[in-house]
Structure 1
Amino acid sequence: MYATVTDMIARFGETHMIRLSQPEDRTAETVDAVKIETALSDASSVIDGYIRGRYLVPIAAPPAEIVRASCVLARYELAQGEHMEPSEEMGKARKETITWLENIAKELINLDVPVALPAGPAVGSGPRMSDRSRIMSLDSLRGF
């Protein structure tokens, strides 16, 4: 996972995390860490899906941007429930995060993490060989 329950509390506040992790219990005084960790794990999987082609995943020491993205995605996930709907602000933050991840996948944004090595030779690289002689050459086209 790229973020922890502590990261979520630090970013969004303990009261908000209690309400999102235990929406049915209005008297709860502690967060449901298991529920938050599940949402964070799901968010990490989404992030890995976008960056897998460019970077080695999982990222051992995730930069702050990845931690933030994980928290935003997990918060949105926690807000979806039987009696709850994500707020407009949560939806906007999620959309911006997904766009940011898409830009990473398109190589428009670079992260300061180890890059994945290509699995095979790059297309169009290296020497080219042919088993036949050219049909059209300068000599065969002379006179036309």
Structure 2
Amino acid sequence: MVYASVADMNVRYGRDTLRQLAEQKIDCDNDGQPLQTVEQVIETALADASAAIDGYIDTRLLLPLQKVPAVLIRHTCILARYALEPGAATEKAEKEYDATIRFLEKVSTGDISLALTQDEEQPDTGDVVVMENAGSVWARDRSKGYI
């Protein structure tokens, strides 16, 4: 599931900026004709970003999500724009990327919630084995005077 659209990217970064970034990623055939459109390049970056996010949240949430939280749209756009940067990313793009990765790591450990309803979004954990022990047989309180 892709968490953001080309329209979301245009709202955040502007159509002209995205066009410049995406045009640098377009491959051409032997005749010099482009093999992809600008939108296809951006859609590929968004799909890659969404797949990366899935890797962080799949143990916490049931995928595909029924409702995409706004925070995931934002972070998907950040990851996609970072992927569109040619060579070395700008300092701002790197800071946003690093902050997004830290956010996703906290989501994956459960430190941050995406504020989705718990009953709809919890993955089925299946059967769980719980082991308990009765404590030590040779504990002082159970030894009845032998220790």
Q: TM-score, normalised by structure 1?
A: 0.79
Give the corresponding residue for 1:28: none
Deviation at 1:129, TM superposition (A): 7.2
Distance in 2 between the 1:65 and 1:24 partners?
Answer: 27
Distance in 2 between the 1:70 and 1:23 partners?
Answer: 20
Distance in 2 between the 1:7 and 1:139 partners?
Answer: 67
Tell me: CA distance 1:100–1:116, structure 2 relative to 1, closer, same or farther (3 Å): same
- Map Cα deviations across residues 108-138 of structure 1 (whole Å, 9 max, x no partner): 10112212232331655xxx478xxx74365
Q: CA RMSD in A?
A: 2.4
1:33 aligns with 2:34: no
Give the corresponding residue for 1:5: 6
Give the corresponding residue for 2:125: 118
Tell me: CA distance 1:24–1:44, structure 2 relative to 1, closer, same or farther (3 Å): closer
1:63 aligns with 2:69: yes
Distance in 2 between the 1:24 and 1:111 partners?
Answer: 32
Distance in 2 between the 1:40 and 1:74 partners?
Answer: 5
Q: TM-score, normalised by structure 2?
A: 0.78
Which residue identity does 1:70 align to in structure 2?
T
* % identity of equivalent residues: 33
Give the corresponding residue for 1:18: 19
Deviation at 1:50, TM superposition (A): 0.3
Distance in 1 between the 2:110 and 2:97 partners?
Answer: 20
Tell me: CA distance 1:100–1:122, structure 2 relative to 1, closer, same or farther (3 Å): farther
- Map Cα deviations across residues 20-46 of structure 1 (whole Å, 9 max, x no partner): 110279xxxxx7010000000000011
Aligned residues: 130
Indicate conservation of the 8 Å contact 2:57/2:107, yes or no: yes
Question: Secondary structure, in 3 states, of the residue corresponding to 1:116?
Answer: coil
Indicate conservation of the 8 Å contact 2:25/2:41, yes or no: no
Q: Larger % of helix: which?
A: 2
Indicate conservation of the 8 Å contact 2:62/2:122, yes or no: yes
Distance in 2 between the 1:67 and 1:24 partners?
Answer: 22
Give the corresponding residue for 2:31: none
Deviation at 1:2, TM superposition (A): 0.3
Give the corresponding residue for 1:77: 83
Deviation at 1:59, TM superposition (A): 1.6
Distance in 1 between the 2:133 and 2:77 partners?
Answer: 52
